Amino acid sequence: ELFISLKENQQYAREAHEQYRFDLEDEGKECSDDLYSDVNCKAFIEENEGYLDQFEKDLTESGLKEKTIETHLLNTRFFLNNFVAGYEGLPMRYGVYLMTPFLGAFFIRKAMWSKPATIKQTATSLKKFYRCMVKLGHVDKEEYDYLVDDIKEYLDEWCDLCERYNNPFTSLFGFGLFY
C-alpha cells in the first residue's frame, strides 16, 4: 500500500506542477518547461523564505520557546527547499501532497539524522507550517486535510521503514527498499 501511495503522490505532484505552469502562463509570467529547472527552483526557494518568515512570526505569537521555533523552521526549510523545490521542482503549496515521498523515502535516505523520532518531529513541524499557511490563505483547508490524513495513515509505517533502514541487519534478509 505504501508504494501505491508513493506513486500516486508523485504523479499528483507532477500534475500539480503542470497546473502551476499553466497558471503562471495565464498570468503572463514565464515558467520553464523543465520540471527541475534552476530558475524555477531558485524562484520557489525565494518564495519559501517569505512563507518561512510568516511561519516564524506565527510561531512566535503562539508563545513557543525560541529553540522549539528554530526546530520547526529547520525541519520545514529542509522540506520546502531541499525536497519540494530542489528535488520535486514544485512550489510550497503542492508540498501537502508529498508527505509519503518525503517522510517515507527521501528523508530516510538523505537526512543522516533520520530516525523515527525525527520523522514524528518533522511531521509535527509540517502540520504546523501548513496550518499556518491555511490561516494566511496560501493553502486551501482541503489540501491541509489531505496532509493531515496522509500523516495519520502512514506515520507508523514511515517510522518502521526508517528503523529498518537505519538498522538493516535487524531482519534476516536486510532492508532492500532503498538499495
- The model's confidence at residue 178, banded by pLDDT at 50, 70 and 90, is very low
- Dump pLDDT digits (tens) for 142-176: 999 999 999 999 999 999 999 988 887 665 454 44
Give me the mean pLDDT over the 5-21 stretch: 65
Maximum Cα interatomic distance, the chain, rounded to a whole number of Å: 57
Given pLDDT bands bounded at 50, 70 and 90, which one contains residue 17?
low
Say if residues 20 and 94 touch (Cβ distance below 8 Å). Answer: yes
Q: Is the pLDDT of residue 45 over 50?
A: yes
> What DSSP element (H or E) covers 144?
helix 141-166
Is residue 24 within 8 A of residue 31, CB to CB? The reply is: yes
Tell me how far apart the alpha carbons of residues 112 and 37 are, in angstroms, rounded to a whole number: 26
Instruction: Reduce the DSSP state of residue 89 to 3 states and report it.
Output: coil
Query: Quick one: what percent of the chain has pLDDT higher than 70?
Result: 75
Res 38: pLDDT: 65
User: pLDDT at position 88, please?
Assistant: 83
Entry field: residues in the chain: 179
pLDDT value at residue 63: 97
Q: What is the pTM of this model?
A: 0.81
Backbone angles phi, psi at 146, to 5 degrees: -60, -45
Q: What is the DSSP letter of 82?
A: I
CA–CA separation, 106 and 78 (whole Å): 11
User: Which pLDDT belongs to residue 10?
Assistant: 65
Residue 64 reports pLDDT greater than 90? yes
Pick the closest to residue 55 from 139, 143, 115, 164 (CA basis): 139
What pLDDT score does 179 carry?
44
pLDDT tens per residue across span 73-110 = 999 999 999 999 988 888 899 899 889 889 998 999 89
Whether the CB-CB separation of 87 and 130 falls below 8 Å is answered with no
Of 80, 72, 92, which Cα lies nearest the Cα of 17?
Answer: 92
What is the rounded distance in angstroms from the CA atom of residue 36 to the CA atom of residue 55? 26
